[in-house]
Amino acid sequence: MPNSWITGKKGALAPLLAVLVLVAVYGFFQFTFVECKRGFGKCRPFSAGHIFALNNSNPINPTDNSVSGGDEEAKKRNRQLIVEKYNGRVVWVFLVAVSALLSVATFFATYRLIYVSSSFRNESAATRSTVFMGFSLLLGSLLFIFPRSYTPVMKDILEATIAKDGQFGIPIVFETMNIINSLTYAAAFMLVFASCAIVLPRKSVAKADIKDDGAELNETDNLPEDASPETVNKLATISEQMRDLRLVLYFGTFLLIIGVLRMSAVTQWTLAFISPENVEAARSFYITLASVAGGFNSLILAAVYLPAAYILQKRAKLFAKELPPVEQKEMLESKELTFSLKESLPRIIAILGPLLVGPIGELFKKLPM
């Protein structure tokens, strides 16, 4: 966000713009895949008549969940099945819209984090941020072109279920998922590059420019009285880098959690298009898919955050050695650069987030209410 928005009156428009963007994006996906008012959605619009007053032209055959003929009793039994098909579409549309918005927000946030980081080879901040964004989009485009490289089974599943049902499904469901997945992974690549950029020693650490009276220091409250101004400045800079790194972690957590939820939602949706005798087997397979996806995403978060956090913490301890031994711990604690289970618990939960919403969520569904 430009500084003029932060220091001036323009910042007052930020909440309004955020709501307008949210409404516009969600409205677009609603019009496209629920009301089907966009031609490229290639789906049929929601019809309340299919739920509250089934007509003779659109019953469901309970033997294979396909559109065909049936008696009045069969139509009554299968209203719930039609509801499940519509429910699946509505939930999927919501999560697709959230994924798109969160991916775009991640690009903006990480662009700014890379912009304020140090240079790799004396390039300008704008060049550095733009190159990393372009490279992330390129990697996302490659995943879009070769979808089986990251989702080898979903294409077959979706084309055999949701895409195949011309009445209640969406023919381009896999193509839409591929676009959103590619955008999500492109944003995830941007998070990886931001983590790398954050670890770079910043100018105030590499070449500290400190006044003798310490007038240019920031965040010096509650620090040891005999602390060296130069050391305080170095540790303050590392503390700022750690905050940036935590922001990367939290964006990544939300991004990948929504990804797991979106995959779980679409697999749950497919159950309404599968023969009843095969539902339990499919559900068991989907739990395995969610577990693997959640575990892999948690490993990605750990790989993005832990090495960078370890380097920054070790760097802080190295600089703290410039202080008297009795002051080192107090200085590190004042800058939140020490490790403790209480302080690290939110980060641990964030890393495990994608894993927890996968298999753990399925286990909770099985508990008696």
pLDDT in tens, 97-110: 999 999 999 999 99
Q: What is the mean pLDDT of the chain?
A: 76
Q: Tell me whether residue 4 is in a domain.
A: no
CA-atom Rg of the chain in angstroms? 26
Q: Confidence band (pLDDT; 50, 70, 90) for 349?
A: confident
When mean pLDDT is compared across 11-15, 182-186, 190-194, 243-247, the lowest value belongs to 11-15
Q: Which residue has the higher pLDDT, 87 or 139?
A: 139
pLDDT in tens, 158-193: 888 888 887 788 888 899 999 999 999 999 999 999
Q: Tell me whether residue 114 is in a domain.
A: yes
CA-wise closest residue to 111 among 33, 2, 18: 2
Give the domain range for residue 156. Answer: 99-366
Q: What is the pLDDT of residue 104?
A: 93
Q: Tell me whether residue 22 is in a domain.
A: no
Q: Confidence band (pLDDT; 50, 70, 90) for 218?
A: very low
Q: Tell me whether residue 202 is in a domain.
A: yes
Residue 217 confidence (pLDDT) above 50: no
Mean pLDDT along residues 337-356: 70
Q: Tell me whether residue 321 is in a domain.
A: yes
Mean pLDDT along residues 49-72: 51
The count of structural domains within the chain is 1
Q: What is the pLDDT of residue 39?
A: 63
Q: Tell me whether residue 5 is in a domain.
A: no
Most confident range (mean pLDDT) of 57-61, 331-335, 356-360 is 356-360
Task: Read off the pTM.
Answer: 0.78
pLDDT in tens, 283-299: 888 888 888 888 888 89
Q: What is the largest CA-CA distance in the chain?
A: 90
Residue 330 confidence (pLDDT) above 70: no
Q: What is the pLDDT of residue 200?
A: 86
Q: Tell me whether residue 14 is in a domain.
A: no
Q: Tell me whether residue 78 is in a domain.
A: no
Q: Confidence band (pLDDT; 50, 70, 90) for 310?
A: confident
Q: What is the pLDDT of residue 87?
A: 86
